[in-house]
Structure 1
Amino acid sequence: MLKLLTASQTKEADHYTVINEPIRSSELMERASKAFVKIFIEKLPDRKKQILIFCGKGNNGGDGLAIARMLIDESYSQIKVFIADISDKSSEDFELNLERLQQKDTSIFYFKSAEEIEYQECDILIDALFGSGLNKPLEKEWEKVVKKINQFSGYKVSVDVPTGMPCEGELFNDVIIKSDWTVTFQRPKLNFLLPISSPYIKEWKVVNIGLDENYIQSTSSPYYWFWKGDIQHYIKARQPFEHKGMLGHALIIAGDDETMGAALIASEACVKCGAGLTSSMIPESGLKALNVRIPEAMFTNRATLDDLDWEKFKVVGIGPGLGNNENSLQILKTVLNNYKKPMVIDADAINMIGENQELLKLVPENSVFTPHMKEFDRLFGTHNSWWERIEKALKKAVEYKVYIVLKNRYTMIFTPEGICYFNSTGSPAMASGGMGDALTGIITSMISQGYPIEKAVQLAVFTHGFAGEQLAQKMYVVPATNLIKSLPYVMRELLAGK
């Protein structure tokens, strides 16, 4: 589990590494530039491409100068370097790398204003004007420079962070380099994981520059990044004498006459992920479809709701396609008044709780809410930004002692302990109806099988995204039904990789 850092914490990690490795700051810059160049060559190996490198006079500019020198040493022959001489100040490491670059046969141009930058055709443009240290909006001449560079043709590559973008928090403004590819150091920046980065970063890649990992992991931060290696530690192999009674009985309460598909998707995902038993409480109008589509699932009649033996269910998943009407609200109230173990609450169940806030007090501890952005706002109020949602989710997860799965490209999991986990898997190809219903079924299944709630949620979210990623390599769009069919194979692959 990788801890994510703010810009100031990253600077402290730099300083700690320099002091304790020990290593000079210029040597750390050299290491970072080598890591950038290595991955650059792998992706863009054509040495004859025309490359423009724009450098500021701080350490990000120093990176740019070192990168220019190294690319020349790697036989990239069409390189021009542009130095923004807008500020009188420059860093020591910038000056050192400028001196080193001047010993090479390359073109270096200085400019004090955007007007001095002539538009040029290029294949690749490397942005090394400002890095992670930027703490205020770019204005005046800098604003003009960024807007001018954004008009340049060519594939734009940013060093560490696109110029103008803060690593975390609200964007200052839209004066930001529009990067096709950002090569960032040691960790993804928090803003890379949010939709606010979308206009400015099409793709990003993390390279390790050797910062002290023990120091980073000891840093106080609520943000973590989990990936395949973490999940493979969680997943359990089936034991020789395990049977369906030992792997939990899950109850899915979902569906309405016109939204039966959501209930079937959630139920099938629960079955395919390995719940010992899955019961589906759906309208009778969906019984034939349930028997045909998912013969492994059992039908539970809603007429028996008041007399249900709640204790036999390890977990209840409720909400997909349930509808938002008086009958649905009564079902939800009955469940909340009778079931006291963790629940998975999605879709219409979230919307009804949002409209009836008193129901929040009835939600059992360690339950899991799975909202998308609009459902989150219906539940906890309108928010003007993703950072407002993150702050609210951290607060509400602790307040109500629940897990909040805020669905997105990099889905966030907020815990009762005030932690935010970012999931590393997923694909835009998964942007289709039913994906959230599938996730509800997967989470319900994992809890049913006895995984601790936090691990169950992480395992479910990762597996959901991982299955989508794999299918996206072969499919333009990944329908939920295709993803569900792949789940047993994906889980087997994760288990085999332990």
Structure 2
Amino acid sequence: MKLFSKEQIYEGDKLTTERQKISSTELMERAGTQIFNWMHTRMQGAQVPIHVFCGIGNNGGDGLVLTRHLITHGYNVVSYIINCSDKRSKDFLINYDRVKNVTKDWPQMKGCKEELDTIKIGADDIIVDAIFGIGLNRPPNDWVQSLFQKFRASKAFTLSIDIPSGLYTDEAVKDENAVVHAHFTLSFQSPKLVFFLPETAQFTKEWEVLDIGIDRDYLIETETVVELIAKREVLPLYKPRQKYSHKGNFGHVLIIGGSYGKIGATNLASRAALSSGAGLVSAYVPKCGYHSLQTAIPEIMVVTDENETNISSINFEIEPTVIGIGIGMGTSDSTAKTFESFLKSNKTPLVIDADALNLLSKKKTLLQLLPDLTILTPHPKELERLIGKWSDDFEKLKKAKDFSKKYNVIVVIKGSNTITVYHDKLYVNTTGNPGMATGGTGDVLTGVISGMLAQGYEPLTATIFGVYLHGKSADIALEDYGYQSLIASHIIENMGDAYMDLFKQSEQAQEEVQKESQQK
């Protein structure tokens, strides 16, 4: 799903009115009606007190359309105008008059804290926030902020229209008290990037997209810098195996890593590479890892360093398709020298994680040695060491983009909604859950992405697909283990179910295509 910028949304609205030959007021009616339909479907006339708070711009106009429909359908509704400026949009004024035509109880004007204090909101009431939309460009007035705090204190269910008021689409929040904390947000046509960033996602617990009929050609043809990745986006990437396939068709992954006490990281990455579909997997570890790996994973081959406790040289005769390196490797002087020597001679595609990232951070001239489209999978602290500190999530994304362009690499920003960065493009993943906040899940991701690369997926595709599968497997595992008991091995064990979910969907799609062709 494309995530449109604020400017693209405005352009889409404008083109829609031109191409569909409708007024902006009619488009607003369409949007407000969709909000009403969403609420009406769920409430079915229930007489819960509904408080609709409207700003004086187009977001407030949407709230007024909703108010009118709630009144005409007999709901227990009171609307308020948050009179924070003398400037009112044309469509707001039109819809204000339309509300006056259906009720004698006109929307109440509120323009200061004293007037807000007269509003009583119960914990079982419903608040509709239609105060500020995506056009907000400055912090709300102090008295408006006090209203937002009143919402929170009431504990009433809060529904925001398009975006929680006070939240910007393209910059960080400086004061969380200046933003509505919504339980649910109804976002027009596409969600907003801020719903998926660690610092701003807290302002809406859930969201849903409402289709308000923006011009289809515009939606299809417009390129966005952010894409939301779910099953629908991944399904076209999936390549079912052919009947006469053999292991040579699916590549050879070499996992390099491990040190005394950290061989388990290599174990997880190797198993994950196998479970993601690699034809062959080898592990290169210090001698201390030989017996445990051979015993634990009979399906892989093991090559050892001469050193007993850590990697001090990297020499192998195999010809891997892809190398995943860094998991559990350590950062000793001998390992650091070996890693540098390896990078100078290596021509094989790389997935770099953990200690290999830390070694790159210590000596950043090594970044120049990375093959094009190398995939880096840092957790937040590793990312900070690579690109430098950031003041907020937007600066973090900018720094990651600049880093990606400078070295022509793919950066995976791991987190609740893992974001894959390649040059100026962002791919926001939708799978995964808090149970993944446990040791080893990052090692599994390294193995999964390495396995996808080995099978012939292009680096960016392998990354996007691998991140999705990794999270989907964890979501499936969650059903049996819950958040607290989920461990990295469970993600590997459920990789097959994640694939089967795609396989079944793919078969259904093929059957539908066949039926359509037969009918023609």
SS of the residue 2:137 aligns to: coil
In structure 2, runs of 5+ residues without a counterpart are 308-312, 507-520
| 80 and 493 in structure 1: CA distance in 2 versus 1, 3 angstrom threshold | same
Aligned to 2:12: 13
Deviation at 1:62, TM superposition (A): 1.1
Instruction: Report whether the alignment pairs 1:191 with 2:194.
Output: yes
Instruction: Report whether the alignment pairs 1:295 with 2:294.
Output: no
User: Cα deviations across residues 334-381 of structure 1 (Å, max 9, x unaligned)?
Assistant: 331232121000111101110111211111111100112211110121
Give the 5 Å matches for 1:21-36.
21-36=20-35
SS of the residue 1:143 aligns to: helix
User: Cα deviations across residues 86-138 of structure 1 (Å, max 9, x unaligned)?
Assistant: 32332222222223333445853221112212332142111111111111111
Aligned-residue RMSD, C-alpha: 2.1
Instruction: Report whether the alignment pairs 1:471 with 2:477.
Output: yes
Q: Distance in 1 between matches of 2:398 and 2:5?
A: 15
Q: Pick the aligned partner of 2:279 from 276, 280, 291.
A: 276
Matched residue type, 2:497? Y
Aligned to 1:427: 433
SS of the residue 2:482 aligns to: coil
Q: Distance in 1 between matches of 2:121 and 2:464?
A: 48
Is the CA contact (8 Å cut-off) linking 1:232 and 1:494 kept in structure 2? Answer: yes
Q: Distance in 1 between matches of 2:397 and 2:30?
A: 34
Deviation at 1:473, TM superposition (A): 4.5
Matched residue type, 1:173? D
SS of the residue 2:412 aligns to: strand
Q: Across the two proteins, how many residue pairs are aligned to each other?
A: 494
Matched residue type, 1:227? A
Q: Distance in 1 between matches of 2:489 and 2:188?
A: 38
Instruction: Report whether the alignment pairs 1:457 with 2:463.
Output: yes
Give the 5 Å matches for 1:45-444.
47-75=46-74, 77-105=75-103, 107=105, 108-117=107-116, 118=118, 119-121=120-122, 122-174=124-176, 175-219=178-222, 221-303=224-306, 305-309=313-317, 312-416=319-423, 418-444=424-450
| 45 and 357 in structure 1: CA distance in 2 versus 1, 3 angstrom threshold | farther
Aligned to 2:38: 39
Deviation at 1:46, TM superposition (A): 7.0
SS of the residue 1:202 aligns to: strand
Q: Distance in 1 between matches of 2:314 and 2:293?
A: 22
SS of the residue 1:166 aligns to: coil
Is the CA contact (8 Å cut-off) linking 2:265 and 2:327 kept in structure 1? Answer: yes
Deviation at 1:275, TM superposition (A): 0.4
Q: Distance in 2 between matches of 1:297 and 1:42?
A: 55
Matched residue type, 2:197? L
Aligned to 2:505: 497
Q: Distance in 1 between matches of 2:92 and 2:202?
A: 29
Is the CA contact (8 Å cut-off) linking 1:423 and 1:462 kept in structure 2? Answer: yes
| 294 and 141 in structure 1: CA distance in 2 versus 1, 3 angstrom threshold | same
| 257 and 388 in structure 1: CA distance in 2 versus 1, 3 angstrom threshold | same
Q: Which moved more, 1:345-354 or 1:163-172?
A: 163-172
Matched residue type, 1:308? F
Is the CA contact (8 Å cut-off) linking 1:162 and 1:177 kept in structure 2? Answer: yes
Is the CA contact (8 Å cut-off) linking 1:136 and 1:172 kept in structure 2? Answer: no
Q: Distance in 2 between matches of 1:105 and 1:475?
A: 54
Is the CA contact (8 Å cut-off) linking 2:84 and 2:141 kept in structure 1? Answer: no
Is the CA contact (8 Å cut-off) linking 1:344 and 1:370 kept in structure 2? Answer: yes
| 287 and 39 in structure 1: CA distance in 2 versus 1, 3 angstrom threshold | farther
In structure 1, runs of 5+ residues without a counterpart are none
Is the CA contact (8 Å cut-off) linking 1:247 and 1:450 kept in structure 2? Answer: yes
| 433 and 36 in structure 1: CA distance in 2 versus 1, 3 angstrom threshold | farther
Q: Distance in 2 between matches of 1:106 and 1:154?
A: 26
SS of the residue 2:199 aligns to: helix
Matched residue type, 2:209? V
Is the CA contact (8 Å cut-off) linking 1:113 and 1:145 kept in structure 2? Answer: no
User: Cα deviations across residues 308-351 of structure 1 (Å, max 9, x unaligned)?
Assistant: 125x1000001122112223323422331232121000111101
Q: Distance in 1 between matches of 2:440 and 2:59?
A: 44
Give the 5 Å matches for 1:482-493.
482-493=490-501
| 101 and 378 in structure 1: CA distance in 2 versus 1, 3 angstrom threshold | same
Is the CA contact (8 Å cut-off) linking 1:227 and 1:462 kept in structure 2? Answer: yes
How much identity, in percent, do the aligned residues show?
Answer: 33
Matched residue type, 2:7? S
Deviation at 1:287, TM superposition (A): 3.1
